[in-house]
Amino acid sequence: MATDYRGLPVWTLSFNQSDGTSGEISRQDDELWSLNKLLLKKQFLDRIKLQSTAQAHVEEYLTAVVNDVNLAASSEFHDFLSLNVTGAPLDNICSSLDFFTNGMSGFLSTLRTKLPLFSPKFEEVTEGGLLDTPETPLECWVYTRATQVGLTDIDMAYALNFNYSNAMPPFSHPSDDLAHYAADVAPSGLGGTAFEYPQMYLQYPVHFQPHGYVNGHNVRLEYTSANKFYFDTESNIRKWITKVHMKDEKDRLKPLRILEIGASTGLSTLIYADMFPNAHVTGIDLAAPFVRFCRQRAVQWKKANVDFFQMNAENMTTFEDNTFDIVSYTLVLHEGTGQTARNMLKEMLRVLKPGGIMSGFEVAYLANPLQRAQVEFFTTFGPIGDKDYKKVGFHGPEPFMKEFQVLNLPKAVPEAGFVNTSYEFIDVFEGTYLGYKPHSA
């Protein structure tokens, strides 16, 4: 017996196939019992049955299964060994799934996708190798499984992410706490000074991520979510920036000042830096571990015209009034209370130059009250409403969704002082929001 990446006792099983395939897989006692239950259904008689999880009985049982041609060739046993039906190692199927990139139809097709019965094997990801390690079959399995059960079993969705994130690198620093700027990623002169998170932000683990975005173990989960959301794909971000900010080819060479709020893992911030080579781009994020990752990613992209800092967009006093030509954000405002969003809009307006543009990609505002109520119900708490919250002690994947819909962002943007505002509904999950700072401001 050994322990797996979760610290739980497991059996480490080695296998060799007739086709030359070999490997190891770690399985817990309950997974052995699950295999036993599945394989018993394939037998007319209980000829091969797990007696107990004592070592002698486990060895006896697995030897009998391997020696039975039908059971050894079954999809259930291949799943157990983390192999596909042909005996080859499992692939990452996420590239074939739409997730949230194709509206409700894509989401529903992802929900219907059949996953292996047993999780694929764990592959270690290091902090130094995180950027160069492709999404593993286990990461794909965890992400897809959590998506599938998220509407019916939020504690299971949380547990899936909790188990996996614990095995990921933390991107931590000795100065990390939840009350002060981290010394290594703070704006100049603010290291170690008081840092205030948005109201209620620390209470709710958004997207079923343990301790939310302040937990650096979730960097990998967030990084591998790229290409699973409409505006988290590089091609869509580039198309949007071209459409909104490049009316002329010369616009690309302007010495702009650009601010990206909620940089997360840095994709859109770095795309701005790439598309505007003479601009200076700043990305800010609440989570110090994510800022560290963004800085590492900027080195990989070889972008010297970008920097990243820990900062709360409700209080950007380190930036003077009228500093930026563009302020951008992607899927940020719906992750906080309505008042938090209003505070951020006010600060965005302040730091923009007169005539500057606020470019936001956000969760869609749903004008249809029935559609809005359905989205609020299923994303805020789960299918049984506030009983889920009372049972497990946390909200669903979008704890502030109702507040965001009540905010009515297409209305809140002009109320904050922006002019020439526009809102474009893309689908039930996404919309774009634009606004300009008045020239007279």
The per-residue pLDDT for range 36-80, each reduced to its tens digit, is: 999 998 887 788 999 998 889 999 999 999 899 889 889 999 899
Handedness of CA 308, 311, 314, 315 (dihedral sign): negative
Report which secondary-structure segment, H or E, holds 293: helix 288-301
Helical (H) or strand (E) element with 307: strand 306-310
Return the bridge partners of 425, or none: 431
How many degrees, rounded to 5, is the angle at CA 308 between CA 303 and CA 311? Answer: 165
Q: At residue 382, does pLDDT exceed 60?
A: no
Per-residue pLDDT at 86 exceeds 80? no
Residue-level pLDDT at 159: 84
For residue range 318-372, what is the model confidence (pLDDT) as tens digits? Answer: 999 999 999 999 999 999 889 999 999 999 999 999 999 999 999 999 999 888 8
Please provide the DSSP assignment of 368-398 as one string.
Answer: SHHHHHHHHHHHHT-TTTHHHHHHHSS--S-
Q: Is the pLDDT of residue 385 over 60?
A: no
Of the candidates 322, 321, 323, 290, the one whose C-alpha atom is nearest the C-alpha of residue 308 is 290
Q: Tokens for 293?
A: 């990752």
CA dihedral over 347, 351, 354, 358, signed as positive or negative: negative
Q: What percent of the chain has pLDDT over 70?
A: 92
162-172: per-residue pLDDT in tens? 888 888 999 99
Q: Please tell me the distance from the alpha carbon of residue 415 to that of residue 438, in angstroms, as a whole number.
A: 13
Ramachandran sector of residue 103 (left: φ over 0; alpha: ψ -120 to 50; beta: rest): left
Q: Is 285 helix (H, G, I), strand (E, B) or coil?
A: strand
Total residue length of the chain:
441
The residue assigned the tokens 């109702």 is 402
The rounded Cα 212 to chain-centroid distance in angstroms is: 10
Under 8 Å between Cβ of 99 and 229? yes
SS3 55: helix
* Model pLDDT, residue 418: 98
* pLDDT, position 91: 86
Query: Residue 17 has what pLDDT?
Result: 59
Per-residue pLDDT at 229: 79
The residue with greater pLDDT, 158 or 436, is 436
Question: Is the confidence at residue 295, as pLDDT, over 90?
Answer: yes
CA 337 to chain CA mean position, Å:
20
User: Which stretch, 84-88, 109-113, 272-276, has highest mean pLDDT?
Assistant: 272-276
Q: What is the mean pLDDT of residues 248-274?
A: 96
Stretch among 65-79, 89-103, 234-248, 314-328 having the lowest mean pLDDT: 89-103
What pLDDT band is residue 293 in, cutting at 50, 70 and 90? very high
Contact 210, 220 (CB under 8 A): no
Whether 269 has a pLDDT exceeding 80, the answer reads: yes
The CATH fold of domain 230-436: Rossmann fold (3.40.50)
- Reading the block at residue 385, the tokens are 């409403």
431-436/352-362 β-pairing? antiparallel
Q: What is the per-residue pLDDT across 13-34, written as a single tens digit (0 to 9) for each?
A: 877 655 555 678 889 899 999 9
Mean pLDDT for the chain overall: 88
Minimum mean pLDDT range among 91-100, 260-269, 288-297: 91-100
Predicted TM-score of the model (pTM): 0.90
Q: Quick check: 212 pLDDT over 90?
A: no
| pLDDT top residue among 304 and 209 | 304
How far is it, in rounded angstroms, from Cα 119 to Cα 142? 8
| pLDDT band with cut points at 50, 70 and 90 for residue 391 | low
Alpha-carbon torsion angle 58, 60, 65, 68, nearest 10: 180
| 389, pLDDT greater than 60 | no
Would you say 294 and 262 are in contact if contact means Cβ atoms under 8 Å apart?
Answer: no
More confident residue, 317 or 376: 317
Which pair of structure tokens corresponds to residue 322? 């009228």
180 has a pLDDT exceeding 90: yes
Task: Give the Cα separation of 332 and 351 in Å (integer).
Answer: 18
Give domain limits for the chain.
2-80, 230-436
* Partner residues linked to 284 by β-bridges: 261, 309
